Amino acid sequence: MYEALLIAGMFAVTFGVRYPVLAFTSRVRLPEIVLQGLKFVPGAVLSAIILPAIVMPDGHNADLSLSNSYLMAGIAAILISARTKNLMLTIILGMLIFISLRAITG
């Protein structure tokens, strides 16, 4: 019962920021400044997810050392992506580098 309520609550708030907003913005003309800002949304949100995840793998403390495999492999992935612009290659090489680094640093 508790789990069903939890899922129902999570569904309500998640669906609530998806469908109603989509339905609203498909029918209402948004202010120009909002429309201009929207092209920055993907980069801004994803960067705000990525950077804390690789700089603070434990979720609390920034670790800028060489032994932070998340950060090192993340930097490698950024360079690979900038160079090749190939998403699949970036994911596969990035994961391989990450797993290798973890094997070394333990």
Partner 1 sequence: MSMRKEFLAGFKDTLPLVVGAIPFGIIFGAFSVSAGISPAGTIGMSLFVFAGASQFIAANLFASGTGLAVIVLTTFIVNIRHALYSTTLGPHMTHLSHRWLLPLGFWLTDETFVVTANHYNQSEDGSNKHWYFFGSALFMYINWQLCTVIGVVAGQAIPDPLSWGLDFAMSVTFIGVVVPTVVNKPMALTVVVAGVTAVLANTLPNKLGLMAGAMLGVGAGLLIESFQSRKGTSHV
Judged by DSSP in three states, 106 sits in coil
> Contact between 67 and partner 1 (CB under 8 A)?
no
Residue among 31, 65, 82, 106 that touches partner 1 (CB under 8 A): 82
3-state secondary structure of 30: coil
Count of chain residues binding partner 1 (CB under 8 A): 75
Q: Is 66 in the site for partner 1 (CB under 8 A)?
A: no
Residue of 13, 65, 104, 106 interacting with partner 1 (CB under 8 A)? 13
Round to whole Å and give the CA distance between 15 and 10. 8
The H-or-E segment that residue 97 falls in is helix 87-105
Rounded least distance, CB 53 to partner 1, Å: 5
- Convert 77-99 to b/e letters by CB count within 10 Å (16 or more is b): beebbeeeeeeeebeebbeebbe
- The site map against partner 1 for 33-62 (x = CB under 8 A) is xxxxxxxxxxxxxxxxxxxxxxxxx-xx-x
Minimum CB separation of residue 66 from partner 1 in Å reads 16
